A and B are shown apart, each in its own frame.
Chain A
Amino acid sequence: MAAPPFTPDSSIRTLVRADEGLVSREVFVSDTIFQREMERIFSRAWLFIGHEDFIQKPNDYFVSRMGLDSVILTRDPQNRIHVLLNSCMHRGMKLCRYDQGNTRAFSCPYHGWSYSIDGRLVERPGELVGVPGFTQHYREKLDKKNWGLVRVPQVYNYKGTIWANWDENAPSFLEYIGDMKYYLDAALDHRDGRSGGSEVIGGVQRWRIKCNWKFAPENFIGDMYHDISHRSVDMVGIGPSGGKGRRDKFSRRAAVGFKDLGHGVIGELPHREEGPYVPVFAALPEVEAYYRKVYEDRVRNLGNQLRVKNSTGTVFPNMSFHGRQPRTIATFHPISPTEMEMWRIYLVDRDSPDHVKDAARHYYLRYSGPGGMTESDDMENWSYATEASKGSIARRHYYNYEMGLGYAVPVPELRGAMHSGEVSEENGRIFYRRYAQFMEGLDWNELMRADREERGRVHA
């Protein structure tokens, strides 16, 4: 379907008609749109930037990204976590060029300005502590307090996952994710139901893909229609129990979307009783025995608490996770309208035996990442969808997200949640509705109004 030609004044509402299931190709290829995304989404939304396991000890640091900005995640000697802009305040040099490590101060290789993260030495982490020639050349006429590293004002540690937000007026992380929290818990909690209890296996896969960054979150938010992408791996069979397919069986799946917040998953509807045990990793009896045991513990630990499981899910805008198989977190860092850098880390139960972790790791690596037999085919599709949307005629046309339009029904246990069966494009529409709201530059009162009204109703 044709869209009107794009001009700098085009309204995002013309390009993104989420309620009708229409999104213009323009938003996947335009430089202008991309720059607006950096300002209006990546400078305002809560972004996943790393995991506490990367900064376990005081003075540990891990370099991450927020949109096009490089940031340093640090733990100070008082065990507080900070996120600092990785650009020397003097002349912009990328202050830290290591991926991770341990240091008490960051010293710039260009002119030598240095910054401390030690809250005992300085009033605020990232403060400028060392300026070569401060007395002789600056004649002490430099207000060092004003030239500390730019600090991300809001940082939140959710069960080990670290989230950051540049906008000091943004709502808290917990309000931002709403009841999506239940699904995030399903990935981050111990398989036996204990809160937290997962750890990251070491190392981050980072790789470049010539595709628009939005292809990934819209895929993971609940596109069960793209099975043909993975038919080759299903024919071969890489599941943990052998046989055809790529995962162990997972019944009762539905696309659940949070209509006012832009998040969504493929997962179970909430329930209070654990379903029957389904063997997992049946090809490896010792590993299967572990999952059987944690299932029994889970039944006991959770009692009649509300619980869910999920396979894939997306927290708006650019973080996706798999709660089950493979259990992983992916982040999609925009590089340009037609290129992204994807990061993947993998989760296991922290106290599980080594053979269980090893089996999980092997399965993850044959499934996901650039070498993953499943994921490698996604890369091909996302790249060439981007490529084939660049033309001046192509970009006048909309993508279609009409499947299941009008069939979503509320999930009463979860605030603002809708479900629409397993195969539907409702979650895609939810993602792009939220996207359009951010791109219009709505203030937080407007962005959170629908969710807050919903909460008022639930509590009334």
Chain B
Amino acid sequence: MREAKAGLELQHEVEQFFYREADLLDDRQFNAWLELFSDDVRYWMPISMNVRFGDEASELTRERKDSAWMDEGKETLTQRVKQIMTGIHWAEEPKSRMSHLITNVRIVEVTPDDEKPERISTRCKFLVYRNRLHDEVDVLIGKRKDTLRRFEGSWKICRREIYLDQNVLLAKNLTTFF
């Protein structure tokens, strides 16, 4: 794959897209957040294992075959939002204080070209901070690979891979999005 040399304008556009997405989550504008995803989105968060040098190929659980932390489509993402909005999803009631920090945003592939991009592949890093009730804190850090497609002039996320830098999950649950 050729390393894309995305222009400053496109880079800026993608960064602003992710920052706005993070704000929607942290402001609990979940329905607006859902709008950022295509109907055929795959939102997948594999489990990372401790493997011997040379066995890196088996470091992650396999897509469509193995277990995962999350393996979602638009339907279940929507269900998760609805669950939070019931007001009796105890894991998020009262609500957690949440900040999504997105950094190291890179555009790695642009299709068909930089002039009129229709599909872009990106990489970034995330830090998701959750503070809950009095003293409960989760810090979840990892990498994300996103594919964005242009739909009627605006970007939608059609694929999101989330690589959490943990083996044993050091949080009691995952009731936020990445």
Residues of A participating in the B interface, judged by any CB pair closer than 8 Å: 97-101, 103, 201-211, 229, 231-233, 235-238, 341, 344-346, 358, 361-362, 364-366, 369-371, 373, 375-377, 379-381, 383-384
Chain B stretch 25-79: residues in CB contact (< 8 A) with chain A: 45-47, 49-52, 55, 61-62, 64-72, 76, 79
Chain A interface mostly: mixed
Residues of B participating in the A interface, judged by any CB pair closer than 8 Å: 45-47, 49-52, 55, 61-62, 64-72, 76, 79-80, 82-83, 86, 88-91, 133, 136, 167-175
Subset of 5 A-B contacts with CB under 8 Å: A103-B52, A202-B62, A203-B49, A358-B64, A361-B67
Q: Is the CB of A203 within 8 A of B61?
A: yes
User: Which residues in A have their C-beta under 8 angstroms from that of B52?
Assistant: 98, 101, 103
User: Which residues in A have their C-beta under 8 angstroms from that of B167?
Assistant: 99, 206
User: Which residues in B have their C-beta under 8 angstroms from that of A375?
Assistant: 173
Q: Is the CB of A101 within 8 A of B91?
A: no
Q: Which residue of B lies closest to A384 (CB)?
A: B133
Q: Give the number of A-B contacts (CB < 8 Å).
A: 129
Q: Is the CB of A376 within 8 A of B175?
A: yes
Interface centre among B45, B80, B173 (most CB of A within 10 A): B173
User: Which residues in B have their C-beta under 8 angstroms from that of A376?
Assistant: 89, 91, 173-175
Contact A233/B55 with A376-B174, A381-B90 known, Cβ cut-off 8 Å: no
Q: Which residue of B lies closest to A343 (CB)?
A: B168
14 A-B pairs besides A370-B172, A371-B45 with CB distance below 8 A are: A97-B50, A98-B49, A202-B62, A203-B68, A205-B67, A208-B168, A208-B170, A235-B86, A237-B79, A345-B67, A369-B69, A370-B169, A373-B83, A376-B175
User: Which residues in B have their C-beta under 8 angstroms from that of A206?
Assistant: 167-169
Q: Which residue of B lies closest to A200 (CB)?
A: B67
Q: Is the CB of B67 within 8 A of A377?
A: no
Q: Which residue of A lies closest to B60 (CB)?
A: A203
Q: How far is the CB of B19 from chain A (nearest CB, A)?
A: 25
Q: How far is the CA of A149 from the CA of B167 in the complex (A)?
A: 26
Q: Is the CB of A365 within 8 A of B51?
A: no
Q: How far is the CA of A100 from the CA of B61 in the complex (A)?
A: 13
Q: Is the CB of B67 within 8 A of A365?
A: yes
Q: How far is the CB of A262 from chain B (nearest CB, A)?
A: 26
Q: How far is the CB of A389 from chain B (nearest CB, A)?
A: 16
User: Which residues in B have their C-beta under 8 angstroms from that of A98?
Assistant: 49-52
Q: Is the CB of B55 within 8 A of A380?
A: no
